[in-house]
Chain A
Amino acid sequence: MNKEHKHQVKFDDSTLKALFKNFTEEEVPPGIKSRAMSRILNDWTEQAIGYSPLISKTNRWWLLGICAVLLTVTFLVDATVLSSYWQQITGSTTLANLSSLSQGFASIGDSFGKLPPILYFTALGLLALLGIDRFLNRLANN
Chain B
Amino acid sequence: MNNANDIKNIKEIRAGDVSAFAQLIDRHQPMAFTLANSIVKNREEAEEVTQDAFFKAYKALSSFKGNAEFSTWLYRIVYNTAISKLRSHKVKSISLDVEEAKTNKDLVVSDDLKRLEQQERKIILKKALKQLKEDDAFIVILYYYKEQSIEEIADATGLGKSNIKVKLHRARKQMHDTLKRLLEIEPSSLF
Closest-CB distance, B170 to chain A (whole angstroms) = 12
Given contacts A11-B106, A40-B55, A17 and B144 within 8 Å (CB-CB)? yes
Q: How far is A71 from B156 in the complex, measured between Cα atoms in Å?
A: 58
Nearest 5 A-B pairs (CB), nearest first?
A25-B30, A20-B144, A36-B54, A26-B34, A25-B34
Is B43 within 8 A of A33, CB to CB?
no
Does chain B have a CB within 8 A of A37?
yes
25 A-B pairs whose Cβ atoms sit less than 8 Å apart in the complex = A12-B106, A13-B172, A15-B113, A16-B140, A16-B144, A16-B172, A17-B144, A19-B121, A19-B125, A19-B144, A20-B125, A22-B118, A23-B122, A23-B145, A25-B31, A25-B33, A25-B34, A26-B30, A29-B43, A31-B47, A32-B54, A33-B22, A33-B25, A35-B51, A36-B50
Does chain A have a CB within 8 A of B103?
yes
Is A37 within 8 A of B22, CB to CB?
yes
Does chain A have a CB within 8 A of B85?
no
Is A32 within 8 A of B33, CB to CB?
yes
Is B59 within 8 A of A22, CB to CB?
no
Does chain B have a CB within 8 A of A142?
yes
Is B30 within 8 A of A28, CB to CB?
yes
Does chain B have a CB within 8 A of A114?
no
| Residue of B whose beta carbon sits closest to that of A49 | B16
* Chain B residues, Cβ within 8 Å of A20: 125, 144-145
Closest-CB distance, B31 to chain A (whole angstroms) = 6
Does chain A have a CB within 8 A of B173?
yes
Does chain B have a CB within 8 A of A46?
no
User: Which of the residues A23, A26, A142 comes within 8 Å of B144, measured between beta carbons?
Assistant: A23
Does chain A have a CB within 8 A of B186?
no
| Residue of A whose beta carbon sits closest to that of B26 | A33
* Chain B residues, Cβ within 8 Å of A17: 144
* Chain B residues, Cβ within 8 Å of A4: 103
Interfacial residues of chain B within 74-121, with CB under 8 A of chain A in the complex: 103, 106-107, 109-110, 113, 118, 121
Given contacts A11-B110, A12-B106, A19-B125, A28 and B33 within 8 Å (CB-CB)? yes
